[in-house]
A and B are shown apart, each in its own frame.
Chain A
Amino acid sequence: MAIFAPITVAHYLAVGAVLFVAGIVCMATKRNALGILMGAELVLNGANVNLIAFGSDFLRPQSLGMDGQVMVLFVIVLAAAEAAVALAIVLNFYVNHTSIDVDQADRLKG
């Protein structure tokens, strides 16, 4: 079967698209601040899957080579930094409001 047998870049891109869309909808619909953070992690991982697919010599004759993998490493480090800062902000929000529902963070609403 043509869709099963050789794994191509398109298969990886489809997986990355599913992860990305799940993360986007997760960020849009969750009310828990940590749920929004998890959606952001899913989005970053969808992008990582794409970068790895384009940088792989096993999937395509002309690949990005090592650049894709190094960029994925940078994205992983940036995701760690983002999670640390977002978690600190969420904990501050929780201490100040005794709530983690982002719908209650409406003090700046005009």
Chain B
Amino acid sequence: MSAALEWQAIFFWLFALISCTGALAVLFSPNIVRMALYLIVSLGAVAGLFFLAGAEFVGAMQLMLYVGGTLVLLVFGVMLTAQREFIRLKTSGGEWILGLFVGSALLVVLLQTVAVAGWKQPLLAESASDSAVGPVMYETTAEIGLALTGVRLNGQHGFLLPFVIISVHLLVVLIGAAYLARTKRRQTREG
């Protein structure tokens, strides 16, 4: 059991390192094409973190929808607009200093909030006495599917209404985006 624990810790630190490094590389890279690549790496590592936390369906959705859908959309946007002078847009030094100052202050506050005692207590330290294997691995796909259709196994509220709302929202948004992104004839004199 301790060996399994060690492996979870090792893979957690691996994925956490990749995702944080990717996020910081997105922040500090001046090149928009490289930023897109680093973002893909970072979000893929976040999917690995989801798998490690036992959310395998959400991790797969992160890979398929986020990395495979949304980021491909972003890469298309980069390819359509990355002309010569727009590949690298330099930020001025004063904005960097101000942004990094505010960002590091926010990071310090957040990291202090993280250190609440109840969130640092590990699960297996107390449940190791009664069960030797810790939580049982179970599949979350059927439970998520039932919850989205309004059925919960433990009697809590389902998510049918938010699911319907978000479906209609996605449909409306995609139709609106397709309408907005059409290439219209360039007006000779605008507004």
Contacts and interface: CB of A to CB of B under 8 A. Distances in A.
Interface of A: 4-15, 17-26, 28-32, 34-35, 37-39, 41-42, 45, 48-49, 52-53, 55-61, 65-67, 69-70, 72-74, 76-81, 83-85, 87-92, 94-96, 99-101
A29 B166 contact: no
Contacts of B186: 95
Interface of B: 5-6, 8-9, 12-13, 16, 19-20, 23-24, 26-27, 32, 35-36, 39, 42-43, 46, 49-50, 52-55, 57-58, 61-62, 65-66, 69-71, 73-74, 76-78, 80-81, 86, 89-91, 95-96, 99-100, 102-104, 106-107, 110-111, 113-116, 118-127, 134-135, 140, 143-144, 147-148, 152, 154, 156, 159, 162, 166, 169-170, 173-174, 176-178, 180-181, 183-184, 186, 190
Given A8-B123, A57-B54, A88-B176, 16 more contacts: A6-B5, A7-B122, A17-B107, A26-B27, A52-B49, A58-B54, A69-B140, A74-B162, A77-B65, A77-B166, A77-B170, A80-B65, A80-B73, A81-B174, A88-B177, A92-B181
B135 A57 contact: yes
B61 A15 contact: no
A41 B73 CA distance: 12
B49 A42 contact: no
Given A19-B19, A76-B62, A8 B120 contact: yes
A75 to B, nearest CB: 10
A10 B120 contact: yes
Given A5-B6, A8-B122, A69-B144, A30 B89 contact: yes
Contacts of A99: 86
Nearest to A83: B70
Nearest to A78: B166
Contact of A18 (B65, B95, B107): B107
> Secondary structure of the B side of the interface?
helix
Given A7-B12, A53-B53, A60 B70 contact: no
